[in-house]
Structures are given as structure tokens and as C-alpha cells.
Amino acid sequence: MSQESNEKNEKKGFWGSALSKLKTALSKTREAVVDPVAGDSAAAIQSIAPAAHESSMPKAQSVGMAAPEANAFTQENVSTKIINRALVIDDDYLEDLEDKLIRADLGLATVDTLMKHLRQYSKSKNWTHQDIQNFLKDEFSKILAAAPSHKLDLKDNQLNVILIVGVNGTGKTTSIGKLCNRLRSMNKKVLIAAGDTFRAAAESQLEIWAERSNCDLLRLPNGSDPGAVVYQAIKKAKDENYNILVIDTAGRLHNKANLMAELGKIQSVINKNASEANFEALLVLDASTGQNGIQQARVFSETCPLTGVILTKLDGTAKGGVVFSIANELKIPVKLIGLGEKIDDLQDFQPELFIEALFD
């Protein structure tokens, strides 16, 4: 097998064939974030192409005589010329690009930093569309690299506690099921704590996912104190030597003080009874909510120490730029992303592959 083939296989990692899947999932985000860099290049291609094609055709020597075969012409050739053509990076261009990046949900603070750097680095230079793309690619890579580790932190030979939080409708229960399925595929002994005791439907859904992922589930009667569920789950996990305890919590609006206070009590139970455990607190965010997700993360982080984000529904939105806002403004790493509805569609977030899929 060639070195190139080996490198491609290594890139796939947990993604399986998912570099292509990620490209598909990011198609709308690419249109919003990367394509605007080319400005009016698409229109330029359309206007230049016919002329280029016409000029490449030798004229017939007389009426009725067939013209010799034309030189090869492809839109790709014209596209390459356009993207390598020098730009006029003036205030109008910069303002238009800034507006498009903001609408792609990169966030005001992140876009402001990008534009300052762009003005600085492009000054007095004959930059092309390709230069702008390379600049953004480098800046995005730096933003993601500045956040803490994107890897899910799991330790051997000790209990790992993973607390899952989020507002209703983000795909929290589904993400738990997919995560547990993946942990079981790693031969981990997994216990799920049904901490959402307010909705019987939530516990029923979790029971279905526990069966599908071959994980054990601890639940108490509806209406029980969530703190009691967590306490019993920690005790069971310790007594029966589980590798991982995944704790579900009630979906709560980040602006409801009483529900956020309850989450604080759950955190206290964990701190008191599993202080020696390796701890992850993952916030489930719906990518389509864009900047509203940033506000959710800010408020949740005030109540429990968030260590990462599970970003769901990335395949149906143009707002994947929120990944950069989360890393840049909150310094919280995205650790897992949802690329579809199948049980194995929750994947590791790999910054290098994300950037490659966005710009390729």
C-alpha cells in the first residue's frame, strides 16, 4: 500500500469514510464561510467563460467550411485563473466579507479579530482569492489550536463520570445514546443515570437507547430527586466496577434560575461522592442555533465546569462557523459532532479534518 493511501486511511480515524461525510455535512457552512471569499468570482467565471471559449476557437476559413477542432476549454481552467487573479481589497470588499462572516455565525468578536488581521497582513499586497482563502484557513486553524484538547478525556483504571447538560430540543438524549454505543464498542462497562426525572418520556427514550447500546440504566420513580439518582448511580458504579458513568439531566432553559440551581446541586453530589473520578461535563448544542448557543454555553459554564461541547445537527445548517466562536470566545473545545441520525453518526471532532473539509 502506498504512503499516500496510508495517510488517507490514517486521516479517516474514527470518521470511517467520514471525510467525505463531513464535507457533505459542511456544504452549507462552506457556502456561507468560504465561498464569499471569492466575491463575484462565480459571476466572473460565467462572463469570462464564453469569451474564453470563443477566443480559443480558430475562425473557419470560408463560409460553409467546418472550423478546426477547438483547443481544450474547461470552466475549471477559467476558475483557476479567477481565483489566482489579484483582488482589490478595499473598504467595500472588507465590509462585505465581514458581513457575510458574521451571518455565517462566526460571532462578532471572532470576525472582528479576523478582519483586523486581514487588514494588517494584506496591506500593500496584491492578494488573490486564493491568498484570502489561505489566510482564513490559517486563522481558523490557530483558533481551534488555542482551545484545550478536543479529545474526549477517558482514564483507565478509574471511574470516569460524564455529565451531559443542555436545553430541550438539542438532541441531548440521542447524543447520550450514541455516545454510550461508542463507549461500549470500546469495550467499556457503561452505566447510564436517568437524571431527568421530570419527564417519563425522557426516561423511556433513555431506556431504549440503553438497550440499543447494551448499557445498564439506573432510574428511580418519576419525580424523584435528580440528586438522589446521581448519588445511587455513583454508588452502583463504584460497587460494581463500571468504567464510565454517563449522567443525563433534565433539559433546562439556560435563563431559568431554579433549574440551573438544581444542576448546581447535581454537581455538588458529584463533587462530594466522586471527587476522585475523572470528570467531563459536556454541553449539547444544536449547531443551527448559532450565536444563541454561545450564550447557553456561557450560562451553563457558570453553574458547572464545562470541559467540552457536543455539537449536533451540523449536517443541516449553514451555521457551522459557531465552532470557531466556541473555541475563540469561550475557550471550550468541541469534542464530538453529530453528522446524521444513525447510531454511529456521533464522531470525534478533529480540527484538521474539519478545516480540510471546510476548504477542500
More confident residue, 90 or 236: 236
pLDDT digits (tens, 9 = 90+) for 240-292: 999 999 999 987 665 567 778 888 999 999 999 999 999 999 999 998 887 88
| pLDDT at residue number 90 | 83
Q: Give just the sign of the alpha carbon dihedral 197, 313, 256, 301.
A: positive
Owner of C-alpha cell 443551527: 288
Dist CA 172 CA 192 (whole Å): 13
**pLDDT confidence tier of residue 11, bands split at 50, 70 and 90:** very low
Cell numbers placing 166? 443542555
Residue count (the chain): 360
pLDDT digits (tens, 9 = 90+) for 308-346: 999 998 876 667 788 898 899 889 999 999 887 888 888
Dist CA 165 CA 161 (whole Å): 13
Q: Does the structure show a pLDDT above 60 at 36?
A: yes
Cβ 314 vs Cβ 306: under 8 Å: no
Cell numbers placing 224? 424523584
- pTM summary value: 0.80
